[in-house]
Structure 1
Amino acid sequence: MNTEIRLQQNVQNENSSHDATDEQLQTEENIFQWTKQWYPVAVVEYLDPSRPHAMQLLGKDIVLWRDASAQWRCFEDFCPHRLVPLSEGRVEADGTILCAYHAWRFDAQGNCVSMPQSENEQTMAKNCENQKSCAVVYPTQERQGLLWVWAEAGEEAKVESQLQTPRLVTELEDNSDKVVKSFWNFRDVPYGWDYFMENVSDPAHVPVSHHGIIGDRYKDAKYYDMIPVRNISTQDGFAFEIQPTQGNIVKAIHDFQPPCYMKIVSTSQDGGQLILALYATPTRPGWCRHIGCQVFVKNSQGKKPQGLSFFGLPLPTWLGHVLASLFLHQDVVFLHYQEKIIAQRRKGKWLDAVYTPNPQDKMVITLRKWLEKRAGGGIPWAEGYSSDIPQAEADKQKLFDVWTTHTQNCTVCQNALKNINRLTVSAYVAAAMCLFLAVILDARTVAVQAALGASVFTIPPMEFWLALGGGILLAVVGYQLKRFSRLFYVYEFEHARND
């Protein structure tokens, strides 16, 4: 009991010191500006360049599309004519985006270049010169394989965006052969940006929630402290180090860099480093888009460190995406309902609604303080969006949707699914042919016996058994492929059954 009281007092004392620091820095730094930031919205190689892609950013409906110069562009998702979504239109061969309602076309700069219903060319040119005919354009750039969008539109935003660099994985900028990047993964998750960041600020949950993949809930849920290694800053976030570490890890740092980057660096005894680069882009209330990868930094002997469980293996990209559900869905139900419960029970400050006596929650507390005191209390959603959290999903099975949250937006997984479906059909067809051959062989054996007048049953020839066994094996393969393809659509998980 004394130990618990002492821990609570320590945490409360640290919180009080943070409050004093916050008041001092509040006069030194401006409130964090959510809209004057770069956000990663997609992995470029997974996008289909032949069509527009709808997405949301800070509650704004946006559309991503690639122009004639092979550059990805971002417009607000409406045609200025009658405000229908451009994401339901087409990317034309000339590199313009066409509204499928009345065939207005727009170039990369958002200028309307065609109004087919105009009386003549002169009238069309005059109407196209009107600023009301232009699409709303957001600055974009491609860095490290990601498509980044600046969260404000217009000429002023274009200038401001050029003065700021996205939150990149700095190790990837060096082009060193000691740095190895795994594939990017992405997923739209049914909980907000703050709960994503809270979750990845909390390493204590890992061996418990991810039991069987990373750690053991019964053996690895141990005490450790979180030590600040970079003081809280409005613009640059903060960082904490875990002490003591476990296993062969000698140093582990969680580094939050607003608006959307959590960098987790684990240094092993031999000097190698594993970096988890985790992004969370706020899309709409109660949802965010997670984009992440593993980065391996070899030690002085050129040895690559171990990765995150089996995700450190050299998996094909599509397989890594599919298997990500095994990990992500171990958190998804917790975080979706946690967000709703806290929204219902919270009266005043977040810290008053929860009970955090142990030092493992220090970084989570600091995140909440940064959000409250440095970032306006929350994300400023676009006009028309309430900051209220959506109702909890009554059918939790819907939280395990993979198709809508990933596959339908990933060309790599779509192609893999097509190939698996082809293999499935081929396996079933080959199984049917083998079984048909087995029947013919068996019938021939019976016919030969009858012709010879044999009265004793003769075992069918080896060819019959090979055909029969091959047919059964191929049918089983087809069935298993069909089951596996379900992972592209849904993956259900329940902790009560995760022994």
Structure 2
Amino acid sequence: MKIIWAAAAAPGLAFRHAPVVSWTRITTRIPPGSPLHSTAAVESAEAAVPSSAAPLSSPKRADFSGFDYGAHWYPVIWARDLRPNEPTRVTLFDVDYVVARTTAGTAGEEDEAFYALVDECPHKKVALSEGRVTKGGDFQCSYHGWSFDGSTGRCVEIPQTLIAKQGRAGAESYDKPQQSGGGRRRREDATSVAVTVVQGMVWLQPNYTPIEALAAAANGTLSGPPTIPEIDEEGYKTTVAIRDFPIAGQAGKGFDLYVSDGVENKPALDEEWPSSGWKATNSVPAVEKLIAYNSNFRLGGVKKKKDSKKKTDGPTKMATTIFHAPSVISMGRRDNATAPAAFVSGFWVSPTGVGRSRFMASATVKSPISVPRWATHMNLNNFLDQDTYLLVGQNRATLKREAEGYLANDASDATNPVRKSTYVYRSPSEKLPTRLGQFFDATLSRSPNRREGVLAWHRRNTEGGKLIGPGPSRREILDRHEQHTKICPDSSDLVERCDRVMKRSRLAAVALVLARLLLGGGAGGVAEEAGGPLAKGIIQWTVGLAADAARRSVLRPGPFVAILAAAAALYRGSSLIKREFHFKTDEGRHRHDVKAISDMWADL
């Protein structure tokens, strides 16, 4: 089962110093003594906090009528996937932002800083993400060289103008925070966005500038992003992954199986309404060997076998799934809903836009060793490919039904019962997904740019009330290179290493075969060459000696075959690894996977 995402928005802070302990710390490069460093600056910025976020999102009703997408942080990328001092484009709610991890003017990683701006230069509206980060840590547009302070968005340099001399310490207006109610934001300034780093994840809050977010945190109208406790615990190792999808999104295959133990146990769903929004916890007794349990049930009832082993002391583990609205899910087996788990899966679904999403995941395990990230990516990509293409039909049907709801009801805050009227739930394990469907039906119409985006999608993809064409191809939906490798430096670096190994092993094999052809024969040729004219003697003797040594070693049948086999194995192994980071799950691979369905769902 998949959780289908559609949209969401949020604010964020910029930080200096890692690791981040408090999300309310803010990065600023304003000269000491500037009003931005003072308590008065925070107090003055409180008036600029967007009214949509005050009071903090409090949907303390079953219909979610008070839920506010503008009062939340949104994950956009893992911090480790931002190459130092390089601008990177991310997207939320169909709006592009540029983020950067800067180390300019610092001596070590502990002094790095994170900044975010709307990805648009105010000069000619080109993307700042196509530019660069200067030695001073500013975003610079590659078109005409305008530069902007990442912490405030202020334009600090326009070539051939006085602003190049004024810089950050110029006019008084520079020292005033960007805000809607007071202070001046000039037309040449870019729009700064609050950004924070929590548990290795970069989060944005587009409704706030950094100083506004700090003020909102101080007056209680903005809380930090939700966390997974085990990630911060000693003795745990975490491996992270990332992938973009040209569909609405998903939060993990097999979700309903993981949290359910069959018909006999009714899943319990506990809901909380913390200051950060809505939290749902689904917890049921965990069942070992769930596939066998389901097979026995489907074939005529559960057959309980006598356990010859002594039962372990302690309570039964609880398979617990926690959803932090609007975009974070964690799953693990615990002694109780709040106890730590030995293994926890985390999922973050970032609402990049209508019909698009960014999927980020983590595997946190209590272990002294870490799994290589590339191995995790290979496994996860195979896992995601198995049924992601199936979501194309689900995504199109859901968007079509949502657009029809908007066309029938113009009210911007109206509940749109898309999932209630589209999906059919019957399994007792579907209590949580049913509730999540109610949440999205009640709130998505209020998320930023949602209604306009869905209606635009509807105009492009329907005609006469019917969907046009079969939708995106399998290659487009499952292209790992575009969706993962390009945005993950660890994977792209691995692919480059595989390319080098393949090239060198191929060259080594060709050189060895040529040497065998050219130097084949006995060892007597060396003596004959050495007896030639003196002008050629030394060179010929040296070459002949090397050739003779080759004949006696690597060109002998045994070593020759072994080296060729090693080169072929290196080439093949690197080729297989490289394939894992490109399009892989074609029709043939899909048919192979389908044959394994009976291993999970026994035929009746």
Give the alignment partner of residue 196 of structure 2, picking from 138, 141, 157. 141
Report the equivalent of 1:89.
Answer: 131
In 1, the alpha carbon distance for the partners of 2:491 and 2:116 equals 23
1:103 maps to what in 2? 145
Alignment coverage as a number of residue pairs: 432
Q: Quote how far apart the aligned CAs of 1:251 are.
A: 1.4
Which one of the candidate residues 380, 389, 393 is aligned to 1:333? 389
How far 1:85 moved relative to its partner? 0.6
What is the aligned partner in structure 2 of residue 342 from structure 1?
398
Contact 1:277/1:294, CA 8 A, preserved across alignment: yes
Please give the per-residue CA displacement for 1:267-323, whole angstroms capped at 9, x wherever unaligned.
389x953211111111111111111112224xxxxxx59xxxxxxx94311232233
Letter in 2 for 1:188: D
Change (3 A) 1:384 1:25: closer
Bigger Rg, structure 1 or 2: 2
Conserved? CA contact 1:64–1:72, under 8 Å: yes
Higher strand share: 1
2:490 is the alignment partner of 1:490 = no
| Equivalent of residue 203 in structure 1, options 256, 269, 272 | 256
What amino acid is aligned across from residue 132 of structure 1 in structure 2? R
Q: Report the counterpart of residue 574 of structure 2 in structure 1.
A: 481
CA–CA distance in 1 between the matches of 2:66 and 2:163? 52
In the aligned structure 2, how far is the partner of 1:222 from the partner of 1:75? 48
Q: 2:515 aligns with which of 418, 422, 437?
A: 437
- 1:177 match: 234
CA contact (8 A) 2:82 2:101 kept: no
Q: 1:214 matched to which residue of 2?
A: none
Q: Give the SS at the match of 2:317.
A: strand
Structure-2 residue corresponding to 1:416: 494
RMSD over equivalenced CA pairs, Å: 3.6
Residues in 2 aligned to 1:264 and 1:252: alpha-carbon distance in whole angstroms: 7
1:427 aligns with 2:505: yes
1:479 & 1:229 partners in 2: Cα distance?
49
Q: Does 1:319 align with 2:319?
A: no
Aligned counterpart, 1:279: 348
Within a 5 Å distance, the mapping from 1:210-289 to structure 2 comes to: 223=263, 225-231=265-271, 233=273, 235-243=277-285, 245-247=287-289, 250-267=317-334, 273-289=342-358
- Contact 1:187/1:291 (8 A) holds in 2: yes
Q: Look up the match of 1:453.
A: none
After superposition, what is the alpha-carbon deviation per residue over 1:13-35, rounded to whole angstroms, capped at 9, x for unaligned? Answer: xxxxxxxxxxx953997521112
Aligned match for 2:448, one of 380, 386, 392 = 380
- Counterpart in 1 of 2:300? none
Structure 2 unpaired stretches of 5+: 1-58, 105-110, 175-184, 291-315, 406-416, 462-469, 527-550, 597-604
Quick one: structure 1 residues 401 and 95, their matched pair in 2 at CA, closer, same or farther if it must change by over 3 Å?
same
Q: How does 1:29-178 map to 2 (within 5 A)?
A: 31-67=66-102, 68=104, 70-108=112-150, 109-118=152-161, 131-154=186-209, 156-160=212-216, 163-173=222-232, 176-178=233-235
Whether 2:425 is the aligned partner of 1:363: answer no
Quick one: which amino acid aligns to residue 234 of structure 2? D
Task: Supply the distance in 2 between the matched residues of 1:401 and 1:65 (Cα, whole angstroms).
Answer: 26
TM-score (norm 1): 0.76
Q: Identity across aligned pairs (percent)?
A: 20
- The CA deviation at 1:464 is 3.0
CA 1:229/1:123 → structure 2, altered by over 3 Å: closer, same or farther? closer
Q: 1:25 to 1:36 in 2, by over 3 A?
A: closer
Separation in 2 of the partners of 1:233 and 1:251?
22
Query: CA offsets per residue over residues 360-389 of structure 1, 9 Å max, x none?
Result: 22111100112233x254633279634565
Consecutive unaligned residues in structure 1, runs of 5 or more? 1-23, 208-219, 298-303, 306-312, 449-459
